[in-house]
Structure 1
Amino acid sequence: MFDLGLTELLVIGVVALIVVGPKDLPMMFRNVGRFVGKAKGMAREFSSAMNDAAEESGMRDVAKGLKAATNPVGTAMDGVKEAAQEMAKSIDPTSYKPDSETAKLAAKLAAERAHDAKKIQAATARAAAERKAREASEALAHAEAAEAAVEQAPEQPSSADPAVAPSEGSEAKT
C-alpha cells in the first residue's frame, strides 16, 4: 500500500517528535496504531463482503468461463482428467475375465512367438557353427602353409652357435 523506507519513517518520526513533543508522542503512536488496525479490519471486511457477493451472483462461474475461453487446451485437459478419474472409479481391474475368443487368440499368438523364437535360435546356432567351421579350416590352412614354408626354407646356421666358425671374409683385420 504505502512504500515507506527506513529513512522516510525516520524523517516522519523526527518531525512528529518536534511537532507533538516528547511528552505526547507515545499517546499519538498508540492512536495511530489503533487507526491503522481499524483501517486494516475494514479492508478485510470489505474484501470478504465482495467475495461473498461475487459468489452469490455467480461471478465465479463467469470467471471459470472466461478462463476456459482464454485457455481452451487447459480446460479440455481438466475435462479429460475428470473423465479419467470417473472411469477409474467405475472400472474394477480384478473383475476382468477374457472371453474364450480372446483367450484363444492370445494362446495362438504366444505359440507363434515361441515358434519364431525357436527359428531364430536355430538360425543363430547354425550361423555360429558355420563361422566356427570356417575359422577352423582357415586356421588349418594357415598351419599347413606355415609347415610347408618351414620345410622349404634352407637350413641356415645360427650366428650365435659357437660350433660354427666365422667365414674368412668376415674376420676383422688388426
Structure 2
Amino acid sequence: MFGLSWGELMVVGVVALIVVGPKDLPGLFRSVGEFTGKARRMAREFSRAMEQAAEDSGVNDINKTIRAATNPTKFGTDAIKDSVTSTFKEGSETAKLSEQRQADKKKIDEAMAKAATERMEREAAEKAAAEATPKPAAKPKPKTATKAKPKVAAKPKAAPKAKAKPKPKPKAET
C-alpha cells in the first residue's frame, strides 16, 4: 500500500481508536475507504486517457520502433523472420523448389517400398521352392556292438620304503 507493515498499521489503528474514539471509528474507516476508491478510479481514468492520447498521436508506434532499434537481437531476428516469410510465400521460386523436392522424395520412397516388397516376395518364393524339393534321405548309420572292456584290478600300492638310518660317525679320540 504505502510501504506500511502490519505492525505500523496496528499502531495507526490504536492511535485512531484513541483519538477518534470507538463510537466514530467505523464511520471514519468507511469515509477513508470511499476516498481511496475514488482516488483509484481517478488514477485509472487518468491512465486510460493518457494511453488513448498516445494511441491517437502515434507515440506508441514510435515507441515500438525505438525499443526495437535499441534491442539489436530482436531487431535482427525480426528482419530475418520477415525475409524468410517473404522467401517462402506461395508462388515464390523457393516454394516451387521445395514442393518439387517433396514430390521427388515421395516418388523415391514409393519406389523403395515397391522394391522391398518385391524382394520379400522373391525370398518367400525361393524359400517355398527350397522346402518343396525333396532332400535325399540320409543313410542310417549301422549300429556296431561294442564290447565292454574287462575291468582290471588295480595293483596294490607298495608301502613306502623305510629310510635307511645313517651310520654313526666314529668319535674322534682326544
The two structures have a TM-score, normalised by structure 1, of 0.52
Q: Distance in 1 between matches of 2:157 and 2:38?
A: 125
Spell out, residue by residue over 1:103-122, the C-alpha distance to the aligned partner (whole angstroms, 9 max, x if none): 7xxx9xxxxxxxxxxxxxxx
Q: Identity percentage over the alignment?
A: 50
Instruction: Name stretches of at least 5 consecutive residues in structure 1 with no aligned partner.
Output: 108-160
Q: Distance in 1 between matches of 2:84 and 2:28?
A: 63
Q: Which structure shows the higher helix fraction?
A: 1
Please tell me the residue identity of whatever aligns with 1:50. M
Q: Compared with structure 1, are the counterparts of its residues 162 and 35 closer, same or farther at alpha carbon in structure 2 (3 Å cutoff)?
A: farther
Pair 1:173 & 2:166 matched: no
Instruction: Name stretches of at least 5 consecutive residues in structure 2 with no aligned partner.
Output: 109-153, 165-174
The two structures have a TM-score, normalised by structure 2, of 0.52
The residue aligned with 1:96 is 99
Aligned length in residues: 111
Q: Compared with structure 1, are the counterparts of its residues 86 and 162 closer, same or farther at alpha carbon in structure 2 (3 Å cutoff)?
A: farther
- Over aligned residues, Cα RMSD in angstroms? 3.3
Question: Aligned ranges for residues 49-88 of structure 1 at < 5 Å?
Answer: 49-85=49-85, 87-88=87-88
Q: Distance in 2 between matches of 1:97 and 1:80?
A: 25
The residue aligned with 2:134 is none
Which has the larger Rg? 2
Please tell me the residue identity of whatever aligns with 1:173. K
C-alpha displacement of 1:17: 0.7
Q: Distance in 2 between matches of 1:40 and 1:172?
A: 124
The residue aligned with 2:15 is 15
Q: Distance in 2 between matches of 1:76 and 1:172?
A: 107
